[in-house]
Chains A and B, each alone.
Chain A
Amino acid sequence: GAGVSQSPRYKVAKRGQDVALRCDPISGHVSLFWYQQALGQGPEFLTYFQNEAQLDKSGLPSDRFFAERPEGSVSTLKIQRTQQEDSAVYLCASSYPGREALAKNIQYFGAGTRLSVL
């Protein structure tokens, strides 16, 4: 696609409910990132994929958070048993990180999913 696509745009969940957020990266982009952005704050790193391999999940705040990218394209961020503190915008970004192009490795962001947990 022309850009990074995220769905849904908005999600309202009741506390304790499971949610799944989808990210469709730019076609051909190898790397995919998830960030969490609390209201009025800068985004914070959650996890990183290179193709289907999850190379870094150190930013996931708890074991309720799980991300996957089974075919190296679309990714899903799943949050189990949502809590009020999970309310945030979840941003996805993709990039093409070829070694020779590392200096030009730019992350392109989607418009995010705003999650509200009631």
Chain B
Amino acid sequence: AQTVTQSQPEMSVQEAETVTLSCTYDTSESDYYLFWYKQPPSRQMILVIRQEAYKQQNATENRFSVNFQKAAKSFSLKISDSQLGDAAMYFCAYRGGQETSGSRLTFGEGTQLTVNP
């Protein structure tokens, strides 16, 4: 079974600074997808960024980028120029690449990010 681990229950960052959230995962599949979701107090999960395992290039979405290390099974999220609106719980998630393995997401425990003004 796949597992996702986020070892940082809480992180804080000063506004305009950069912060990195860590995520490791365990899988025997070669084809899979990784995601970072943001969950503000409203509870709605919002997709931040996704990475296909077959792509060597790290995904980037504006101020958000990932450091995907496939051999190490590591998938960290970097937030640059942090804004107050970035404060939320962040979840790392895994999905297998084959339909036979199901489309379910496996989530980590989450990292609560605080942005200080």
A-side interface residues toward B, CB under 8 Å?
Answer: 31, 33, 35, 40-45, 48, 56, 59, 89, 91, 93, 95, 97, 99, 102-103, 105-112, 114
Whether B102 lies near A110 (C-beta < 8 A) is: no
8 residue pairs, one from A and one from B, having the closest CB atoms: A42-B107, A109-B45, A45-B104, A111-B44, A112-B43, A111-B43, A43-B107, A42-B110
Q: Do A106 and B50 have beta carbons less than 8 Å apart? A: yes
- By a CB distance below 8 angstroms, the chain B residues around A89 are 43
- Say whether B86 faces chain A, with CB atoms less than 8 Å apart: no
Counting CB contacts under 8 A, is B106 at the interface?
yes
Complex Cα gap A95–B47 (Å): 13
Collect the chain A residues with CB atoms within 8 Å of residue B50's CB: 106
| A103 near B109: Cβ-Cβ < 8 Å | no
Interface 0/1 of B75-117, CB less than 8 Å to A: 0000000000000000101010101001111111110000000
Q: Which residues of the other chain, B, contact A108 by a CB distance below 8 angstroms?
A: 47
B42 interface hit (Cβ, 8 Å): yes
Q: CB distance A56 to B104 under 8 Å?
A: yes
B→A interface (CB under 8 Å):
4, 33, 35, 37, 42-47, 50, 52, 91, 93, 95, 97, 99, 102-110
In the complex, what residues of B have CB within 8 A of residue A43's CB? 45, 91, 105, 107
A35, A42, A105, A109: the one contacting B103 at CB < 8 Å is A105
Nearest CB of chain A from residue B16's CB, rounded to whole Å:
29
Check A91 against B102 for contact (C-beta < 8 Å). Answer: no
CB distance from B102 to the nearest CB of A (A): 6
Contact of B102 among A56, A99, A106 (CB under 8 A): A56
- Determine the residue in chain B with the shortest Cβ distance to A44: B107
Q: Which residues from chain A contact B104 at a C-beta distance below 8 Å?
A: 33, 45, 48, 56, 59
Residues of B within 8 A of A35 (CB): 105
- Are B44 and A33 interface neighbours, CB within 8 A? no
